[in-house]
Every structure is written in structure tokens, then in C-alpha cells.
Amino acid sequence: MGPSGCGKTTLLNALSGRLCTEDVEGTIKMNGHRSTEDLKRFIAYCTQEDVFFPHLTVRETLTYTSRLRLPREAPISAKLEQVENIIQALNLSKCSNTKIGDIRFRGISDGERKRVSIANELLTDPSVILLDEPTSGLGTY
């Protein structure tokens, strides 16, 4: 979308409602409706930096997220089913029981880490997903 420093992240922050309204001018609409707090729940945003608890496995990470972000009244069985569906959909089965890891100890690969980040957001079944630098940190092939 553009070179470093041209405002890609700022645009995504504005679209996702993460900027203070005094910093942004204009109207954001989704399906013809003005963006409100209610519409924000339909938008998922994967930031450039993936932030995880390194000692949790992929499955534990997604389960933790599901318990925090899915409706309280949803049964745990439905939340766990959603986690398994996302693991399958994003081809994370092989690493689902592997710890995320960090710079101190090896865990999943950078590509798997990006997919876990996306999986975290897909758990809420958003209508729109915004990805900030989704290929940064990945090797070239």
C-alpha cells in the first residue's frame, strides 16, 4: 500500500476506531452505516506486533482468547468448538500443542505466529479484518 512512514498504520488505527476522534476528520461508514461503538465489534484488527503469552500453547492461547472475547452466555463447549474450527481452518493443527515461544526460547515459527494472530481475531467471527503488515517478519520464498 505504500512505503514505510506513509500512514498505513495510522489509517488502520482510524478505521478500527483506535485513534482519538479529535485526531481524525471525516466519516467512516460500514455497509452505509456510520461507524459507531456497535459497529466496532464487527471489525477485527491484527496489529503489526504479535503479542502473546510465550508459555501458552497455540490451543491454550486461542482458548484463553475465546473465553475473554466470545459472549459470556456462550457455552464453553461452543467456545472450544470455535477454537478447533479456527485451528483447522488456518492449518495450525501440527503446532496446536506447541508453546508460542519468544526470543528467550524457541516456539512456533514466524508464519505460524502470524496465523495465530489472525486466528485470535477470527474467533469473534468479524465482518471485516484489518491486517497491519501481515507479511512482516516472514521469510521470503
Say if 126 falls within a structural domain.
yes
- Only one residue has cell 521470503, namely 140
CATH code for the domain in which residue 45 is found: 3.40.50.300
Instruction: Report the SS3 class of residue 13.
Output: helix
d(CA 135, CA 126): 21
- Only one residue has cell 516456539, namely 107
Say if 140 falls within a structural domain.
no
Is the pLDDT score of 23 beyond 70? no
Average pLDDT over residues 12-32: 72
Say if 136 falls within a structural domain.
no
Joined together, the cell numbers standing for residue 100 give 508460542
The number of distinct structural domains making up the chain is 1
Contact 98, 58 (CB under 8 A): yes
Say if 106 falls within a structural domain.
yes
Say if 46 falls within a structural domain.
yes
Segment holding 49, helix H or strand E: none
Say if 138 falls within a structural domain.
no
Is the pLDDT score of 80 beyond 90? yes
Domain, as residue range, for 94: 8-131
Please report which confidence band the pLDDT of residue 141 belongs to, taking 50, 70 and 90 as the band edges: very low
